[in-house]
Structure formats: structure tokens, C-alpha cells
């Protein structure tokens, strides 16, 4: 037997194994489904064999193919520790603050309640009232919330300063005054509720698994998604008590959009028609890949994602950042009832 090559494209169909008996097999034939038989469940990266076995057909991959591995990662933005501390203190004193209805009431509670004064004296009245309001509404920034919700609540808090301005700070940002970035009160910017200049932030990305052939999509709120597509997500080790992670420091900007304006935009007839088109495309995707797939992200997410990419292109042109150095986090988060109560973009 010998190898025969023809053409200059390096296509598998141009390479064949020929036999003196006249039989011939093209490398392209190896891509035929079930040609290579069934998988036996070997997991060389774990040095074992899958105890549950595997009933899938083997597939041929070119060694340099880009779909050999797709990492599954979870990415979060580090939040300032004082946010959690203040939330915890306000939660502990919720009984003493039961009658607080305004920021002025917070000042009175500090003045006439020594317990409140001792615990919360170092914090601003407005910050305390904001934390109390969120606790009453069930919107608590901390470990109890999904990462994106916690991030959004910090960036959209309206505080003049978020975090502390020190060299070792994980997050430092400033909410800009509207007159500073929209002096003419332009109509096109009316949908933006606030603009936050993020002078320093830390992003932590953790690798928890991988897929082959196809990347596993994640939900729009950033939660871990162990989806079933053409392949299953595979763990990177057995009985892992740690996972590899990397931290990156950078800067960026956060835009908080008026959710009422977005709801009004969603009611337009042309927007509803576009949503129906996207829904039909989503249903075709679901039919092609049956299994546990992320829900349709919703039109607010499509809107913010499109705007985010347009802004990233402008930033790359005007600010000197290469596009490959820019990342985004799109916040189009829904309440349990299905309404969008958090809409924003972080570009960093």
C-alpha cells in the first residue's frame, strides 16, 4: 500500500491510501459517520475509562482543527469587600432600622440609637438607606446573588465612588455627573440613566471543563451551563478540590440604561416583528440540537449586545485599544415574573 496525493489544497479528499489490489480509500471517507466505530470511553486526560461507557460514534478531527477543544469558563468581576460588609451590618440592624423610610431617618437613627451609630457611623446615610432598600426588596449584593446581578447592583448603585482608590484595590469606579458627559441633554442619550468610569477592576476567569466539536453556550446571566449539544461537557480532573483560574486587571466604562425606555421600545410593532424572526431562528437551533439549551436571551439582550459591539469598535478607533483587548459584559437581567429590571453594558 502507498499514499497518493494530488492537488495543492491539502484537502483530505486529495489524499488516498492505495493498494496493489486496486482498492483505494480517501482520507475524506474517514469523516463518514460511524466509519471509525464506537467510542470506548477512554479519557486520557484523566488516565481512566468512563465508568458509564460511551455509545457515541467516533469522529475524525484534523490535529490542528480549531474545534478540538472549547474551554468552559466562568468569569466574574471582583466586587469591593466593603459592599458586603455594609450589607451585612445593615441586615443585622434591620430591626433597629425598621421605621427608617428616608435618608433623613437614617441620620436620626444614628443620632438617637447608639447601637446604630457605633456600627454604621463610618458609612454615608445615602449608602445605608440604599442597602436597606435593597434588603427590603430582596435585592442583596453578595454571595447569595448570581455574579452578574451582584455586579450590576454595584455599578448601578449611583454612588459617587465605588470601591477605594488604592493601588491594591480590586475595584474603583466613579459615577459621572450627567452634566459632565451629556451637557446638552441630547435626545439620543436620554435612555442612559448613568455612566460609570471604571478606573480599575479585576476579572477572574476559572476553567471548570471543556467540550469538543462545538462550544457550549452559556446563559445570558453568566451562570455555569452544563449543556448537552453534540458532545457533553467534560470535567478537567477527577474529584477536583481546586480549579485553574487567572486574574486580569483593566479599566472600562459601565452604562446603565433606563429599563422603562427599553420596555417602550419593545412594544413597537417593528421590534416585535424582529423578535418573532429571531425566535423562529432560535427554534430551528433547538430542533437541530435537542437537549438542555439556554433559553432565548430576549430582545433587550440583542439590543444591548449589538450596541456594545458598536461601542467597542469606536473605542478601538478612538482610544487606541486593539479590539482584541476589549471585553464586554451585557446585563439584560429579568425578574422571576419575566420583566427586565436590570439593563446595562460593561466594556473593559
Q: Which residues contact 334 (CB under 8 A, 6 or more apart)?
A: 298, 340, 341
* Same domain as 118, residue 236: no
* Same domain as 125, residue 266: no
pTM: 0.70
* pLDDT value, residue 328: 93
Burial 37-67 (b: 16+ CB within 10 A, else e): eeeeeeeeeeeeeeeeeeeeeebeeeeeeee
* Same domain as 232, residue 277: yes
* Same domain as 164, residue 117: no
Give the residue carrying C-alpha cell 468610569. Answer: 197
Number of domains in the chain: 3
Q: What is the mean pLDDT of residues 179-186?
A: 88
Q: Is the pLDDT at 74 greater than 70, yes or no?
A: yes
* pLDDT value, residue 220: 58
> Is 295 within a domain?
yes
> Is 221 within a domain?
yes
> Is 74 within a domain?
no
* pLDDT value, residue 292: 63
Q: Is the pLDDT at 117 greater than 50, yes or no?
A: yes
Angstrom distance (rounded) from CA 41 to CA 36: 14
C-alpha cell at 34: 460511524
Q: What is the mean pLDDT of residues 136-162?
A: 76
* Same domain as 235, residue 134: no
> Is 147 within a domain?
no
* Same domain as 325, residue 191: yes
DSSP-derived letter for residue 341 is: E
- Model confidence pLDDT, tens digit, residues 266-313: 999 999 999 999 999 999 988 887 766 777 888 999 999 999 999 999
* Same domain as 177, residue 325: yes
* Same domain as 61, residue 109: no
The radius of gyration of the chain's CA atoms, rounded to the nearest angstrom, is 27
* Same domain as 263, residue 332: yes
Share of the chain above pLDDT 90, in %: 37
C-alpha cell at 175: 459615577
Q: Is the pLDDT at 141 greater than 50, yes or no?
A: no
> Is 254 within a domain?
yes
More confident residue, 191 or 214: 191
* pLDDT value, residue 302: 93
* Same domain as 135, residue 47: no
Q: What SS3 class is residue 56?
A: coil
- Segments forming the whole domain that contains residue 166: 152-347
- Model confidence pLDDT, tens digit, residues 10-62: 788 888 999 999 999 888 888 888 888 998 888 888 888 888 888 888 888 88
Of 142-146, 190-194, 338-342, the least confident: 142-146
Amino acid at each position: 500500500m502507498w499514499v497518493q496525493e494530488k492537488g495543492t489544497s491539502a484537502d483530505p479528499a486529495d489524499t488516498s491510501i492505495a493498494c496493489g489490489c486496486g482498492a483505494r480509500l480517501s482520507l475524506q471517507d474517514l469523516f463518514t459517520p460511524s466509519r471509525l466505530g464506537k467510542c470506548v470511553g477512554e479519557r486520557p486526560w484523566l488516565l481512566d475509562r468512563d465508568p458509564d461507557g460511551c455509545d457515541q460514534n467516533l469522529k475524525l478531527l484534523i490535529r490542528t482543527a480549531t474545534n478540538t477543544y472549547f474551554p468552559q469558563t466562568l468569569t466574574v468581576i471582583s466586587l469591593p469587600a466593603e459592599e458586603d460588609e455594609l450589607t451585612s451590618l445593615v441586615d443585622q440592624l434591620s430591626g433597629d432600622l425598621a421605621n427608617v423610610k428616608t435618608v433623613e431617618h437614617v441620620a436620626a437613627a444614628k443620632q438617637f440609637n447608639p447601637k446604630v451609630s457605633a456600627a454604621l457611623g463610618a458609612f454615608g446615610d445615602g449608602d445605608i438607606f440604599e442597602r436597606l432598600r435593597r434588603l427590603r426588596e430582596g435585592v442583596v449584593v453578595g454571595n447569595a446573588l448570581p455574579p452578574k446581578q451582584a455586579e450590576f447592583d454595584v455599578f448601578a448603585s449611583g454612588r459617587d465612588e465605588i470601591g477605594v482608590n488604592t493601588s491594591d484595590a480590586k475595584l474603583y469606579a466613579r459615577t459621572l455627573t450627567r452634566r459632565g458627559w451629556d451637557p446638552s441633554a441630547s435626545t439620543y442619550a436620554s435612555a442612559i440613566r448613568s455612566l460609570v468610569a471604571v478606573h480599575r477592576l479585576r476579572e477572574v476567569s476559572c476553567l471548570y471543563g471543556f467540550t469538543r466539536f462545538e462550544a457550549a453556550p452559556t446563559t445570558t446571566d453568566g451562570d455555569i451551563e452544563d449543556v448537552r449539544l453534540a458532545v457533553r461537557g467534560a470535567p478537567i480532573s477527577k474529584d477536583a478540590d481546586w480549579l485553574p483560574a487567572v486574574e486580569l486587571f483593566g479599566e472600562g466604562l459601565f452604562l446603565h440604561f433606563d429599563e422603562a425606555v427599553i420596555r417602550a421600545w419593545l412594544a413597537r410593532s417593528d421590534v416585535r416583528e424582529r423578535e418573532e424572526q429571531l425566535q423562529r431562528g432560535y427554534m430551528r437551533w433547538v430542533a437541530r440540537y435537542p437537549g438542555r439549551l439556554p433559553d432565548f436571551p430576549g430582545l433587550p439582550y440583542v439590543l444591548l449586545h449589538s450596541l456594545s459591539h458598536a461601542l467597542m469598535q469606536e473605542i478601538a478607533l478612538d482610544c487606541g485599544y486593539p479590539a482584541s483587548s476589549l471585553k464586554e459584559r451585557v446585563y439584560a437581567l429579568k425578574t422571576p415574573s419575566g420583566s427586565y429590571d436590570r439593563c446595562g453594558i460593561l466594556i473593559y
